[in-house]
A and B are shown apart, each in its own frame.
Chain A
Amino acid sequence: MTAASATPATPTHPVSGALTAADGPVAAALRSALSDDRVRTTATELGLYRRDASNIEGSAGIVCFPTSTAEVRAAVRIAVDHGMPFVARGSGTGLAGGATPLGGALVITLTKMNRILSVDPVNRLAWVEPGVLNLDLTRAVAVHGLHFAPDPSSQQSCSIGGNLANNSGGPHCLADGVTSAHVLAAEVVMPDGDVVVLGSEGGETDGYDLRGAFVGSEGMCGIATRICVRLTQNPPDVRTMLFDFDTVEAGAQTVSAIIAAGMVPAALEMMDQLCVQAVEAYIHAGLPVDAAALLLVEVAGPVHGVADEVERIVAIAREHACRTVRVAQDEAERALIWKGRKTAFGAVARIKPNYYLHDTVVPRRALPDVLRQVYEIADRHGILVMNVFHAGDGNLHPLLVFDKREPGVLERVHAAGEEIVRVSVAAGGVLSGEHGIGLEKRDLMPLMFAPADLAAQAALRAAFDTTGLANPTKVLPSPSSCGDSHEVPEGAWI
């Protein structure tokens, strides 16, 4: 099946300049509902909010910074009253264009709503505002021996609201589950201005799981203003191991064998040779730069179980011709190993100035074959590719590195990227494991879903957003999104 073709470049909800002007009616209403200094309309400031961490650019009409549920509600109402689309924005680290405003939308930035409202260390849950940064929550509850389990690599800067809206994952989601499993409830300002609480502290409410439907809705079903998250007990013991292999296949087979042996490690991460070389040049951790693949395995839990699993995992790795085994001897060594994994993106910058990070999932058993195809695709397009990924759940992150000053390179990067997505889906995989669809993969949705499947998703969205103004034209390609016409901004794939 081919991706839906894009329709003309007319914004869905063309917002007139008169509405968004500094002295226009929307700005004036926002200023009186919020405050003068929290409503921004200058070209410089709007420019800062025209995209997220993807390379897809849109245009913001007005940017505002509410500090309470009441202010978010007022902002949503004002936008809807004027027929103006609005976009919730957390830290703007999203990689799929989810927070990219289109056609002069109102950007509702939640960074000033960043208070941890309450922590119940006994029942292990917390209420937070959406702008709280992921790592800040984990740091704040560390005194209770707890943490927030989803740990995206961007955890120092991404917000819990963004995590919820993208249903984000991270290395430690293999054993403990992605964000959806850690969100018990959310207070949501609905696009029609209603304020509701979806879900409950107990986590299993009567009726439809509207909480579950809201998680991962990429800002298209309303704006979360308070979030109740589950906190996880820190493990009494943690062991981190590194194995290296002569072939990617041997590394991938080790991953499958560990799982088939009945173990679910806390994390199972893989890096290929080019990536290891880049990271080693950057952090000097003594990584084996001549290996084809490096596997990071972390086991966590009570001591005896951990010791037993370390032994069994080392044996499995040896059976699969692993060359060397390195078990972190102390917390410093563990931190160094993880630094290698988490700074992979920074390390890449030393090779080429630009990168495009992909995100697909394939069945674990298909990893070697899909990786082979990824190398072949990148080769054919003359692009350098590195792979650093969540091998435990088959979540690939091919990183295409390039210098955008090279003529024609962006076209090749996009062409290679689309082929990577296609081979992943063809191998029994899915379009995205954690970054979401946004604008980036919107028009590839038909690779995975038939029109009836997309219509069901559109029905879910329509049940939440009766106005069609909450972050419109994302995620669903045009035929199923109830007449939304589609603007295709610069940088999106089509």
Chain B
Amino acid sequence: MDLTAFAAEVATDDPVTIAGLGTRGGAVAGVRCVSAPRGIEWIQADEMTVSCGAGTPVDELSAALAAVGQRAVLPAGGTVGGALAVGRSGIRRLGDGAVRDVLLQARYVGADGVVVKAGGPTVKNVSGFDVCRLLVGSHGTIGFLGDVILRTRPIAPHAAWFAAPTDDPMAVFAAVHRPVSVLWDGTHVHVLLEGHHLDVVERAMRTGLVESDGPPPLPAARHSVRPADVVRVTAGLRSGTFVAELGMGVVHAAPDAIPPTAVDPGVAAIARRVKDGFDPTGRLNPGRAA
């Protein structure tokens, strides 16, 4: 994909912000706004890779991949660039792995308006420092994604959600073999199983799970706690007001349900140096924190 025009738009001096479809926070208000190129460059099913502009809607990408029996591990909605820049996995992280692992190569426009390549096109690569990992979750504060190469996965032959009432969700969690997702809402566990349909059915039966309509709706805010603390932390919350991702330490609940953990000053210092190194004048998505 030719990124010359995109780089020219990002330019070199003034504050600039980037927006996809605005589903994950969108542009910084009051700042000149650009958007990344859109479109799928190629899909290589036998390599399990896809290349597309960062402005491509995730749903458009998913539909194109589904046609060859594959998918990219990105949460639905918005653009590919937005999903990567925010870097938050959906409720399938237990089985799919994290969003950050999906990015193989990125070409982004840096603060100086120059196109930079991070990573490489192959599914395995340890050539140099892993700038791709910094880009995922950076909220557009160190570079604006232009185009990307992503890892894809085959769509499983069968998938089904199950549920069971329990007051010992960790016992269920411990008993199921490699579920894709295990959620706990205070009264029920909700389990997503994928694979050969007979395996799915047998695994569910063995654990006393019954097929259900799908996962419960997720409350507004997403909190991170230690996976081992999930049951203790949610014990203080009313059933039905939270959904916890077991094994992942993520609790979806009201914004003030769980106090945030303070960022360690040493970690904050590294983050500041990252920002200063990549965007010394602070022109990219000014005011936004990674």
User: A: which residues have CB within 8 A of B?
Assistant: 120-125, 166-167, 169, 173, 177-178, 180-181, 190, 194-198, 200-213, 215-217, 233, 236, 256-257, 259-260, 262-264, 301-305, 308, 361-365, 390, 393-395, 428-437, 441, 445, 448-450, 452-457, 459-464, 466, 475-476
Contact = CB atoms under 8 A, between A and B. Distances in A.
Given A190-B266, A194-B269, A460-B277, A212 B122 contact: no
A484 to B, nearest CB: 14
Among B110, B128, B224, find the residue whose CB has the most chain A CB atoms closer than 10 A: B128
Contacts of B124: 169, 173, 178, 361, 390, 393-395, 433-434
A453 B129 CA distance: 10
Contacts of A211: 133
Nearest to B225: A202
Contacts of B117: 449-450, 453
State the 5 A-B residue pairs at the shortest beta-carbon distance, nearest first: A212-B133, A202-B249, A302-B199, A459-B277, A305-B196
Interface in B237-283: 247-250, 263-264, 266-271, 273-274, 276-278
A434 B126 contact: yes
A213 B130 contact: yes
Interface stretch (B11-19, B26-34, B173-181, B211-219): B173-181
A475 B128 contact: yes
Interface in B98-120: 98, 100-101, 110, 114-118, 120
Contacts of A121: 174
A67 B118 CA distance: 36
B290 A208 contact: yes
B87 A125 contact: no
B245 to A, nearest CB: 9
Contacts of B271: 207-208, 210
A362 B278 contact: no
Interface string B65-77: 0000110000000
B235 interface: no
A362 B120 CA distance: 10
13 contacts: A200-B224, A208-B142, A216-B130, A302-B202, A362-B122, A365-B44, A431-B128, A434-B124, A449-B128, A450-B117, A457-B131, A463-B274, A464-B273
B154 interface: yes
Interface string B189-206: 000000111110011000
Nearest to A435: B126
A236 B177 CA distance: 8
Contacts of B274: 208, 210, 213, 459-460, 463
B228 A201 contact: yes
B123 A464 contact: no
B155 interface: yes
Contacts of B128: 431, 437, 445, 448-449, 454, 457, 475-476
Contact of B174 (A122, A196, A236, A260): A122
Nearest to A308: B196
Contacts of B266: 190, 194-196
A460 B126 contact: no
B154 A264 contact: yes
A122 B47 contact: no
Given A210-B270, A450-B117, A431 B127 contact: yes
Interface in B78-95: 87-89, 93
A456 B118 CA distance: 8
A461 B277 CA distance: 10
Among A125, A257, A459, find the residue whose CB has the most chain B CB atoms closer than 10 A: A459
Contact of A432 (B93, B126, B173): B126
Contacts of B118: 453, 456
Nearest to A205: B224
Nearest to A220: B129
B97 to A, nearest CB: 6
Contacts of A216: 126, 129-130
Contacts of A122: 170, 173-174, 228
Given A207-B268, A216-B130, A301-B195, 18 more contacts: A166-B126, A169-B124, A177-B97, A197-B264, A200-B249, A206-B263, A206-B290, A207-B289, A208-B138, A213-B274, A301-B178, A301-B199, A302-B202, A305-B195, A305-B196, A448-B120, A453-B117, A460-B129
Contacts of A452: 110, 114-116
Interface in B155-199: 155, 157, 170, 173-174, 177-178, 195-199
B286 interface: no
A354 B25 CA distance: 58
B178 A233 contact: yes
Nearest to A118: B228
B39 interface: no
A372 B53 CA distance: 34
Contacts of B45: 259-260
